[in-house]
Structures are given as C-alpha cells and as structure tokens.
Amino acid sequence: MPRNIFFHNPQCSKSRQTLDIVKQKGIDIDVEEYLKTPPTIDELSFVCQYLNIKPTEIIRTKEKVFTELNLSLSDVRSDEQWIEILRANPSLIERPIVIYNNKAALGRPLENILKIIE
C-alpha cells in the first residue's frame, strides 16, 4: 500500500486550498512539492489505476514544456511511456493529487479530495 501523499504545488491556488483542508482536518499525510521531488513511476501508476484513467488524462497540455517536447495526446505511446514523460517533466502533472488510505483523487474539483479524506 502506498503512503499517504499530497502532491503539492505552492504556486497553484487549488493546491493551496487543498493544503488548508488537509491541515484543518489534521490529516496524517506527506506533503510533497512534486516539482522539486517528482512522484515515482509507481505513485503515478497508482494514481492512474485508482482514478481509473489513462496517464494522458492528468497531463497539463497548456504547459510550455508540452509544446517544447512536441507532444500530442494523439501520440501513439504506451501508458508506461506517458508515465515516464510525466515523471521526467512533473510540470505536466495535473494538480492537486492526493493519495490517502489506498485511494487517489485529483482535486479538480476539490470535492474529489474531500470524498477520500472524510
């Protein structure tokens, strides 16, 4: 079972709101600034598995690096290849993401995170 993790970007308002919620509720969770310490391959795979989504569904396509790498969501790549791209380029990861008690949630909207921490 993965540890409880909140992938946090202090520059993101939704991420800051999530951090406030986690603190208010006294949730025991590791706060990781994922731009400094990117999620592991296993963590990214877990998030996709538990959200029942493809890695391309958590990619921020409007980030500059997406264009710089000449990426397209229509590129023929395996899930593993997309996860490697996310790991190598964490700014492409949609946020905020919480892994808590063997569940994962993408905080868009924030209510998704409330569902797994309450």
26: alpha, beta or left, given left = phi > 0 and alpha = psi -120 to 50?
A: left
Is the Cβ–Cβ distance between 61 and 116 less than 8 Å? no
The residues, ordered by sequence, that sit 6+ positions from 82 with a Cβ below 8 Å of its Cβ are 54, 55, 56, 59
Q: Which two tokens stand for residue 86?
A: 């996310």
Q: Would you call 12 a catalytic residue per the annotation?
A: yes
Say which of 12, 35, 114, 116 is annotated catalytic.
12
Q: How far is CA 62 from CA 59, 67, 84, 94, 98, in A?
A: 9, 8, 19, 11, 22
**Residues with a known catalytic role:** 12
